[in-house]
Structure 1
């Protein structure tokens, strides 16, 4: 029986953008544009807007020149134009503070609503309208599904975002993301020494294992950024990136290796202009089952979840892989 009047309510479509503050914009541009091969769509007043070669929208990455290396916003596109307003009303009804952002306040993007995730205090922005400009003819691809020709190390698109917050707030934030924004828990782990607390949760609104992950901050701080992942086409691309980056003056993180969680190959490096952790990410599996049951990783198998093979991630006390960057507040 059809139900023409059925309205599913506001929904998030996918992880869309991230605004990384960088003390050295030119160095960050060299990294993302010249090395990773992202296209600079627009640059004005110390802000650059970039996209991967398979992104038709205006941008997925914003680089903002500023004194502090912090994340200014995490952007998520919603499924319908009216969902921006509907989410805003939903948040206001819950007593949350929001900031309405006008069209064009972020170049190429329409109206948006900004808020802090309850508990974790990460600054999210929800939007729908975004321009889809053609690339300059000098780099335009003959393939209509590509915005430009593949260049550099071949970043295709933003893949996912990884956040951290305090042990006291991680359960609240993870639950809110699921109940209010519609993220589905795909895989997860609990703190072995405190099993009532979520160690990490991998969440998605698409068929990916995660569009967003949230876990515990080793330093017990809220609003922490761990990494943003950019997708490359295949495992060989990750190995090529590892080979080339090793020869450059770039802080080499971890990898190449393969995660058990999500089953994708990874390479972690750091943007030399800001120090933010960047993951080059390829492969992984997709979930199509509507009745998917979240998979829990427990000791001793949890170590395979972090690294199935390759460079073991140092997640012990004081481990470098646990370092994070701060995020902005409600007002940038």
Structure 2
């Protein structure tokens, strides 16, 4: 008897890109290109497209010249071309407003669908097709798995994004990311004084502990951006970055240190052109267990989850919430 072909439905492949609005485009380009070592693949007017040295896709970072330092979009690549339309159909059935974006809306990228995450109002864009241009010959690597030579501090790829929303909406948003988009909860914590509310949740569609994290904002605001993380090869690279950045006019956020949650080493710095928080991130563990049960961090161990060693990241009620940036709305 012939079995019908199994179709898992639309799926996300990975967190793929972010569009950061910056009031000082040239200063932001110098930060990401000259210090972090990213390649400027193209620049059209006030928009620059960059990628890290182990990324083959056209870009993972868009820098857009604009008056307000906000995040214009969070891009996710889906596994199949038809998944863009299938996700769009799902959103329509759920009553989630979405807009179609034509190919080339972002240079080098195919058609996409844009929507706001219910409960958090973060502007996500789903796409599949993207160009894979060769780097200029002067920076090409002999290592076939590198799109270009390692330069600067050597960020390898976009690792994850960290979002925040209001305490009144975080549960809705976190549940929707799981139920409608297929993210799996890996580690999480609840507000100690309000245990029915998620303090933060680390979710992924890959073996990483998180491709996306979402948590409670300091104020009752939706659509808040905490940071985007770029992966570097090892712990020593984090310490080298801390040493070099201390000599420059670049603001530290926190670190270097190590998270208990995810078990990666971190250093938070700020893009001097925009003020957006950037995490340099290395290490961590991978999850291959298909029956993984989410790990809940409770007091008093929660402090170790945030910071195993290094600067204390007290994000509980009354704690030192780190400043966030706003996100754009539905219309790009």
TM above 0.5, one fold? yes
- Residues 71 and 326 in structure 1, CA contact (< 8 A), matched pair in contact too: yes
Q: Which runs of 4+ in 1 moved over 2 A?
A: 1-4, 314-322
Secondary structure of 2:268's aligned partner: strand
Partner Cα distance (1:330, 1:119) in 2? 14
1:258: Cα distance to partner? 0.3
Residue 58 (structure 1) shift: 0.3
Give SS of 2:177's match: helix
Task: Please name the residue that 1:230 is paired with.
Answer: 230
Other-structure match for 1:183? 183
- Match in the other structure for 1:36: 36
Q: TM-score, normalised by structure 1?
A: 0.98
Residue 292 of structure 2 corresponds to: 292
Contact 1:200–1:213 (Cα < 8 Å) also in 2: yes
2-structure distance, mates of 1:302, 1:280? 22
SS of residue paired to 1:260? coil
Quote the offset at 1:278 in angstroms: 0.3
Q: Distance in 1 between matches of 2:290 and 2:316?
A: 36
Paired with 2:253 and 2:175, the residues of 1 have a C-alpha distance of: 30
Task: Give a deviation string over 1:14-52, Cα, whole Å, max 9, x none.
Answer: 000000000000010010000000000000010000000
Task: Give the Å deviation of 1:315.
Answer: 3.1
Question: In the aligned structure 2, how far is the partner of 1:92 from the partner of 1:30?
Answer: 41
CA displacement 1:199-219 (0-9 Å, x = unmatched): 000000000000000000011
In the alignment, structure 1 segments of 5+ residues that lack a partner are: none
Q: Which residue of 2 aligns with 1:99?
A: 99
Matches for 1:129-144 after TM superposition, within 5 Å: 129-144=129-144
1:169-222 CA-to-partner distances (Å, cap 9, x unmatched) read 000000000000000000000000000000000000000000000000011100
Superimposed CA distance per residue, residues 261-297 of structure 1 (whole angstroms, 9 cap, x where no aligned partner): 0000000000000000000000000000000000000
How many Å apart are 1:143 and its aligned residue? 1.1
1:68 aligns with 2:71: no
Per the alignment, residue 147 of structure 2 pairs with 147
1:104 and 1:308, CA in 2 relative to 1: closer, same or farther beyond 3 A? same
SS across alignment from 2:72 = strand
Question: 1:83 is matched with which residue?
Answer: 83
Alignment-derived partner of residue 8 in structure 1 = 8
Deviation of 1:322 (Å): 2.2
Structure 2 counterpart of 1:258: 258
Contact 2:50 2:62 in 1 (8 A): yes
Residue by residue, what CA displacement relative to the aligned partner does 1:39-84 show, whole Å, maximum 9, x if unpaired?
A: 0000001000000000010000000000000000000000000000
CA distance in 1, matches of 2:321, 2:256: 14
CA contact under 8 A between 1:253 and 1:321: conserved in structure 2? no
Cα deviation 1:284-319 (Å, max 9, x = unaligned): 000000000000000000000000011212436676
CA distance in 2 between counterparts of 1:175 and 1:294 reads 14
Partner-residue secondary structure (3-state), 1:173? helix
Distance 2:49 2:2 in 1: 43
Given the two structures, how large is their TM-score scaled by the length of structure 2?
Answer: 0.98
* Number of equivalent positions: 332
Does the 8 Å CA contact 1:19/1:74 hold for their aligned counterparts? Answer: yes
Give me the CA root mean square deviation.
Answer: 1.2
Contact 2:191 2:316 in 1 (8 A): no
